[in-house]
């Protein structure tokens, strides 16, 4: 049984191993509320039900530069 907080904050140990899927250098991600932001390219990824959506297709096209986004299926 888990008594962990359910505020949407990721486990720091989990956050530490996450990396941007769009950057070859696998830079760390900063959590901003329910979004993870790449420290290198600025791509944003949603956290859904406490699980980071870190596939390239999950990136939120907001601050991301178009050149970094591959739009193929």
- Contact residues for Zn ion, defined by CB under 5 A: 20, 22-23, 38, 40-41, 43
Residues with Cβ within 8 Å of 31's Cβ and at least 6 positions away in sequence, in order, are 9, 10, 15, 37, 47
- Looking at the Cβ atoms of 28 and 50, the one nearer to Zn ion is 28
Residues with Cβ within 8 Å of 50's Cβ and at least 6 positions away in sequence, in order, are 6, 8, 10
- Looking at the Cβ atoms of 1 and 17, the one nearer to Zn ion is 17
* Shortest separation between residue 69's beta carbon and Zn ion, angstroms: 10
* Shortest separation between residue 67's beta carbon and Zn ion, angstroms: 12
- Looking at the Cβ atoms of 38 and 47, the one nearer to Zn ion is 38
18, HSE (Cβ side, Cα atoms, 13 Å): 24
């Amino acid at each position: 049984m888990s008594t962990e907080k359910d505020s949407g904050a990721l486990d720091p140990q989990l956050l530490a191993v996450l990396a941007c899927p769009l950057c070859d250098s696998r830079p760390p991600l900063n959590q901003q509320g329910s979004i993870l932001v790449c420290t290198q390219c600025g791509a944003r990824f949603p956290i859904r039900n406490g699980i980071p959506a870190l596939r390239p297709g999950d990136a939120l096209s907001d601050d991301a530069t178009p050149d970094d986004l591959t739009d193929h299926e």
